[in-house]
Amino acid sequence: MVNLFFVLFVSFLSSQNVLLEIGERNVFDTDFFQNVPKSSWLESDLEKKSLLFNDFKNKEVVFHHSMSVGFNLFPENFIKLKKRRDQILINSYYENVVALPLFDQEYLKETKKHINSKVFVHHILTGYKGCSLNGGVFDITKKEALKKSLEIKADIDRLFSFSDVDSLVSIFQASAKKTSDDPSVYQNMGEIGRVSWGQVMPSFQAKAFDMDVLTVSDPVLTDFGYHLILVEKRGFSDYFYYNEDYVEGLLVKFALQHANIDSLKLKASSFDSLYIQKNNLIFNDGVLDKAVLLFENKTKKDNLRGGKSSYVEWLREINNNGVLFVFKNEGYGVGWLINKIEKSPSTRVRPLKNKNDFKVLINSFLLEEGVLEKAFEHTLGSSRWIDLEMEKHTKNILYKSFERFSIESLPPVDSSSVKKLYEKGVFKGEYIKPKQVVFSEIRVKSFDLADSLLNDFSTFNDFDKLMKGFGGKLKKPISDGGGGFIGEAAFSLNPGEVSDIISNLDKTFSIIRVESFIDEEPFVLGRVYSQIENKIRKNLKDSVKKNLSVSLLNKYKIKEYMEVLSF
């Protein structure tokens, strides 16, 4: 009866609950928790929760509106969305097909079993000579460490045998503080805390997720030593609150993390090479040489910079120079490469300095096309996970695009608004040209010379003569607060007064005379017009971002069921 209740309880929990009704479209709690992890939600205060929920709601209503009015079909959005879907499909093919033979199927099975769970874990660590434990210097061997760990376990099991359930964790913690080699044991008493699948070492997690609660495991070996594990309690991981189909697709990601990275790279590289070789790629070296020579002339002789736009423009000069390469027994000209570069993001187009650079870029474009074809052959295009992953990306792309579109639709800033803000600012003390000092300066390289000049001035009181003899000149006015040491000295003097010797950062020495002060006054409007205009435009942009979905929320009369998030 208890087991049946648990099954029904879990089934009830894992079903999707409607969080928002937008028109005739339902948004579920699983959609929310795929954006905001359940654990983060529970740890947030009310203010943070309100922010998280409103951000999510705003994105959802913009997505709904965008799809309703066909905003996703606008050329720029359509292209961006298609490229994103293509990339997801390409990645999925490499993960689900190319890398599949390298996956540990048993680990994949265990991941599926435990991905929705988390455990609250404690441990006692016993290190040994040669283990990877930071800061540990051990005299005992690996065999002796195992023996010591078993003895600690026997002692804890003995204490557990005549203790009540409520005291088991504290008994384990006391033993950890006394016997564990974990450097942090004095801070955490052996407590690791909540652990989800994939967060700890494989051997450790395999035991922790399969053992009974409030029992002590046999010693588990990792690179850091032997662990005795105690699972205090079990719960649901953040993945439990995801859409089930989406979680199914994530299993491959976990398997990838567990696979050998070098083997994965080698497998992908072998697949790429075989695909290109099998379809008989042949380059026309004559056309490639022309392209390389053209690019060299543009960058070296004409001193032009390369880049996506430049490459497209330069390649058009040799667009009618015949076949660039043959692939699958079909010829492709320079126009094909121009088209591919135009449709690629700038970051994808690396510098093209030699023939090999061109070949690598063309190879990458051909692989992209080929892998995409194979992804559809394997029906990955109809995968539910792909649809859900793409929906997530679509929401982000359309939200940013809608925000940018709304900002670009703003009317120009009216000149009367600029003038009004200028007058208001002047009244408040803004847009004011600060007080300035006009001064003359004699600058020399030697302190002794500066000292001699200052003595001459004290004797003859003729600063103008000294200026004429030692290259002094009237300097550009300095604003209050500026000019470094010279400015500081100048604003401490009165008109006609001469300073002491001033040491400059460039190891020269100055003597200055203040000629006059220019009182602060408002800048003329023309001088600060652009600054004020940009300030108004920024405020309008911020307002658009803040209120982007306000009218849409009213338009679609959204119904909220926020209580489903607190279950």
Ramachandran area for residue 433 (φ above 0: left; ψ -120 to 50: alpha; else beta): beta
Total residue length of the chain: 567
Report whether pLDDT(258) > 90. no
Q: Determine the pLDDT at residue 448.
A: 95
CA-nearest of 424, 463, 462, 418 to 440 is: 463
pLDDT at 3 over 50: no
pLDDT of 59 strictly over 60: yes
430/436 Cα distance (integer angstroms): 16
Instruction: Check the CA dihedral 486-492-496-501 and report its sign.
Output: negative
- Answer for the pair 8, 20: CB distance below 8 angstroms, yes or no: no
Give yes or no for residue 265 having a pLDDT over 90: yes
Tokens of 83: 């490229």
Residue 13 pLDDT > 80, yes or no? no
Whether the pLDDT of residue 553 is over 80: the answer is yes
pLDDT at 36 over 90: yes
- The whole-number average pLDDT for the span 184-198 is 95
End-to-end, the C-alpha distance of the chain in Å comes to 24
State how far the alpha carbon of 307 is from the alpha carbons of 310, 315, 341, 350, 411, in Å: 5, 12, 10, 8, 33
Cβ atoms 508, 442 nearer than 8 A: no
- The pLDDT assigned to 11 comes to 43
Beta pairing partners, 229: 123
Model pLDDT, residue 301: 80
Phi and psi at residue 518, to the nearest 5°: -110, 120
pLDDT at residue 4 is higher than 50? no
CA pair distance 206, 417, nearest whole angstrom: 67
Residue 2 predicted with pLDDT over 80: no
Report whether pLDDT(1) > 80: no
- The answer to whether 176 and 189 are in contact (CB under 8 A) is yes
Taking 50 as the threshold, does the pLDDT of residue 154 lie above it? yes
Three-class secondary structure of residue 435 per DSSP: coil
Q: What is the pLDDT of residue 567?
A: 54
CA distances from 532 to 428, 528, 543, 544 (A): 14, 6, 17, 18
pLDDT tens column, 423-439: 999 999 899 999 999 99
Task: Confirm if 361 and 349 have CB atoms less than 8 A apart.
Answer: yes
> Which of the pair, 288 or 135, is modelled with greater confidence?
288
Q: What percent of the chain has pLDDT over 90?
A: 87
Give the pLDDT of residue 554.
Answer: 86
Instruction: Indicate whether 225 pLDDT > 70.
Output: yes
Query: How confident is the model over 131-139, as a mean pLDDT?
Result: 82
Q: Which helix (H) or strand (E) holds 120?
A: strand 117-126
Encode pLDDT of 201-216 as tens digits.
999 999 999 999 999 9
Q: Rounded distance, CA 223 to CA 129, Å? A: 11
| Average pLDDT score, the chain | 92
d(CA 277, CA 191): 55
Q: What is the mean pLDDT of residues 258-273?
A: 92
Structure tokens at 261: 């990275």
pLDDT in tens, 340-359: 999 898 888 989 999 999 99
Mean pLDDT of 110-115: 95
The two tokens of residue 224 are 């850091």
- The pLDDT assigned to 12 comes to 43
Rounded Cα distance, 145 and 472, in Å: 82
